[in-house]
Structure 1
Amino acid sequence: MDNAQQAAQPVLKRTPLHAAHLRAGARMVEFGGWDMPVQYAGLKAEHQAVREQAGMFDVSHMGEFRVTGPDAEKFLQHVTTNDVSKLKAGRAHYNWLPGESGGLVDDIYIYRVGAEEFFMVVNASNIAKDWAHLQAQLGQHHAQLTDESDAWGLIAVQGPLSEEKLQPHTATDLSAAKKNSYFAARLFGFDVWLARTGYTGEDGFEIFVAADEAEKMWDKLLGIGLVPAGLGARDTLRLEAGFPLYGHEFSDTIHPLSSPYAWVVKEKEHLGRAHISAAPVQKLIGLSLDKVPVREGYPVFAGAQQVGTVTSGSSSPTLGHPIAMALVNAGSADADDFEVEVRGKRYPARRMGLPFYKRGGL
């Protein structure tokens, strides 16, 4: 590679855990401008570890913003669709940043720290866009925004044994922490924030730790037998759980109510309300196939007519066959049988309810 070619190569960002991934022999890939581990021992083994025991993911590439001030709640009520006023201190919820003219700027998580303080986690590829959007909407609100994305390492511990694995290493009673709780704790002697949240369909905790202590925390978690898992397993886990991924099921142009997440939009005034209130012309459905995995962008047919497109697809390690999510015309969404075109040939696909997998039973 000559100097000109080297100069043309994008410089990928690295999380605080980059060196730990290399030591573990992870296969690294570009993801949203970041150099991230796609797998360690192998996707299926990592997926199974999370479903049956406990695994951990580096999600330090996600962005973190803090919102403070007398109008912090009022501001967030304006820029999101869910009802932030219902959040009590120490609680978190899933939320949307709607656009002014349809679609989503991002899907996010909001954590209430106190009466005038909130913490927000945004998608890694949207950090700059979200920051600019929120700054533009701040207006006359008496609130301050702080971008803390570089200050935090974030490790997701997921799986049915998550609490059992972590409990011996903190004095905090983890069994008392309900889903979507958010609290300060000491873990392995480090000051952290823990949230009982995740993106896999399993129980677990997301650990917010100072960036300069993240690698030590990762090594402690390895030492108690947590299995490191990469982006590959993260994608199959979230797909089985029917969780949308920004850039696939959501975007600036996809009507968010095409998804089965209408509950995220509450009865309140917010940015872009008129556009979200309009009925979507598409619907997100689940598809099951016998043998052939399908990928994003593959055409979906009902009879002779193309009615939609696959948004996410993979072989399901848990179910043992390929699954997919697809956006299809609303008028066709209730059909039972579809076909997906793969390299010029169509394969039968049956509609399945979302999620494909639910903890405690299929």
Structure 2
Amino acid sequence: MKGGLHMEQSKRTALYDTHKKYNGNIVDFAGFELPLYYESILEEHNAVRNNAGMFDVSHMGEVTVKGEEAENYIQNLVTNDISVITDNGVMYTLMCYEDGGVVDDLLVYKYNTTDYLLVINASNIEKDYNWMVEQKGSFDVDLENISDDVAEVALQGPKAQEILQKLTDTDLQTITFFRFNENVLVNNNKCIVSRTGYTGEDGFEIYTSLDNIVNIWEAIMEAGKDEGLKPAGLGCRDTLRFEVALPLYGNEIDKDITPLEASLGYFIKLDTDFIGKDVLVKQKEQGLSRKLVGIELLGKGIARHGYDILSPDGDKIGVITTGYQSPSVGKTVALGLIDIDYTKMGTDVSVKIRKKQVPAKVVSKKFYKKNYSK
């Protein structure tokens, strides 16, 4: 029921009791009860940057796409060119509406040209799946939303491989960046393991059945106890992805922001045909009116999501999408969507924090250098 009369019951992942055991501070996120942190956001952030952290990401959505025309169907749905993915490859891409706004960003896992797995954002599962079904048209494909049957953890950080290798006979060196292996035994539990993540560090995402996930979590925590591994919550998941300018749906991208405005042009291949392409072609030809940039605050305060960005004259020229005191960089920085005239590096702007205008300047949005395994 709409109108707030009926609150849906929050969902719990198969690791809920485990989070309690590890003293997780549980919050509601996208309708799931998940830990914001265990010890502290800062401790967990630093663990991922320096050693390793493990996240419960079972709330993510998974949709299988199978059939003779699976490749053509997905190609029509997404902005990137999935024809170049080889078997057991993964690709980051976006789905757009006809008007160029973003339905969601997602990962495409390719088993072969007739069998794919799409991994989507927790807050968008129902909306995305309905959209995918609507776009089926006459394509010969079968779609299935298997989100409720899949559990997933992300092991991230420079020591991720060393820790996970203790629990499997599969040589993890063979799973290179943005590749996966569907037959990895982790502590004797069958898993899909991909070398992907959302932190800017090397690491793995491990998918398995609900029955196996607690065993896998505990085995990984045990294997990493001397390597500085910590359980990590949603709090540092956000600070980590933000420092390397990875977008979050609802912040840097949404139905009213195009991928070009979000500076995600690299993932848009305009020589392929997909929903929303015409608008993006036009936007590119005409030039953008606004774009996502990095902003460094020069005064006190933190630029939170939704705060106004002002010109030196005090006119509103944009909005903050995400902002933090960056743990790894030691500066107060933000991502913001601003008028194109103010996007040049070094441009002076200000951010309205409560009633004060705090001086700031436009900087590179890559606040921290990614450390992926090549």
The TM tier, using the shorter chain, reads over 0.9
Superposed CA deviations along residues 182-213 of structure 1, whole A, max 9, x for unmatched, are: 11211111100001000000000000011121
Of 367, 370, 374, 1:356 maps to 367
Distance 1:81 1:9, change over 3 A: closer
The 5-angstrom pairing of residues 103-252 of structure 1 reads: 103-184=101-182, 185-224=184-223, 225=225, 226-252=229-255
Question: Which whole-Å CA distance do the structure 1 matches of 2:241 and 2:258 have between them?
Answer: 20
**What is the CA distance between 1:330 and its match in structure 2?**
1.2
Q: Report how far residue 276 of structure 1 moved.
A: 1.8
Q: Hey, what's the Cα distance between the residues in 2 that align with 1:278 and 1:341? A: 33
Partner-residue secondary structure (3-state), 1:140: coil
Residue matched to 2:307: 298
Residue aligning to 1:315: 325
User: Alignment partner of 1:258: what SS?
Assistant: coil
User: Residue in 1 aligned with 2:336?
Assistant: 326
Q: Which amino acid aligns with 1:295?
A: R
Shift of 1:9: 4.7
Question: Given residue 230 of structure 1, which amino acid in structure 2 is its aligned partner?
Answer: G
Deviating more after overlay: 344-353 vs 59-68:
344-353
Give the distance between the partners of 1:360 and 1:147, measured in 2 at CA.
33
1:27 and 1:43 map into 2 onto residues whose CA distance is 11
The one of 85, 98, 105 equivalent to 2:96 is 98
Letter in 2 for 1:328: I
2:350 paired residue number:
339
Q: How far apart in 2 are the matches of 1:358 and 1:230? A: 22
Say whether 1:285 aligns with 2:283: no
Partner-residue secondary structure (3-state), 1:257: coil
Moved more, 327-336 or 261-270: 327-336
Instruction: State how far apart, in whole Å, the 2-side matches of 1:152 and 1:238 are.
Output: 23
Whether 1:24 and 2:22 are equivalent positions in the alignment is yes
The equivalent of 1:4 in structure 2 is none
Aligned equivalents of 1:109, 1:301: Cα separation in 2: 35
**2-structure distance, mates of 1:83, 1:169:** 35
1:276-332 residue CA offsets vs partner (Å, 9 max, x unmatched): 223232100001124421100111012122110000011111111211000001122
| Partner Cα separation in structure 2 for residue 77 and residue 26 of structure 1 | 40
* Amino acid in structure 2 at the alignment position of 1:198: G
- For residue 3 of structure 1, what is the aligned residue in structure 2? none
TM-score, normalised relative to structure 1: 0.95
Find the partner of 2:275 among 242, 251, 271: 271
Deviations 1:15-51 (A, max 9, x none): 1111111111111111111111000010100000000
Aligned residues of 2:202 and 2:371 also touching (Cα < 8 A):
no
Alignment of 1:254 with 2:257, yes or no, is yes
RMSD value, Cα = 1.4
* Residue of structure 2 in register with 1:56 after alignment: 54
Same amino acid, percent of matched pairs: 36
Aligned to 1:87: 85
State whether residues 87 and 111 of structure 2, in contact with CA within 8 Å, keep that contact through their aligned partners in structure 1: yes
Q: Where does the alignment leave 5 or more consecutive residues of structure 2 unmatched?
A: none
My pick for the range that moved more, 175-184 or 42-51, is 175-184
Higher deviation after alignment, 300-309 or 332-341: 332-341
List runs of 5+ in structure 1 lacking aligned partners.
1-6
Query: Comparing 143-152 with 215-224, which one deviates more in the overlay?
Result: 215-224
Q: What secondary structure is seen at the aligned counterpart in 1 of 2:19?
A: helix
In structure 2, what is the Cα distance between the partners aligned to 1:360 and 1:97?
27
Paired residue type of 1:22: K
Q: In structure 2, what is the Cα distance between the partners aligned to 1:87 and 1:242? A: 24
What do the CA deviations read for 1:136-177 (whole angstroms, capped 9, x no partner)? 010111111011101111100000111111112111111122
Structure 1 stretches of 4+ with a deviation exceeding 2 A read 7-10
Letter in 2 for 1:261: L
User: 1-side partners of 2:193 and 2:204: how far apart?
Assistant: 6
Secondary structure of the corresponding residue to residue 256 of structure 1? coil
Inter-partner Cα distance in structure 2 for 1:355 and 1:94: 18
Deviation at residue 354 of structure 1 after TM alignment: 2.2
Q: Secondary structure at the match of 1:138?
A: coil
Mapped to 1, the partners of 2:327 and 2:39 lie a distance apart of 15
Contact 2:201-2:371 within 8 A present in 1 as well: no
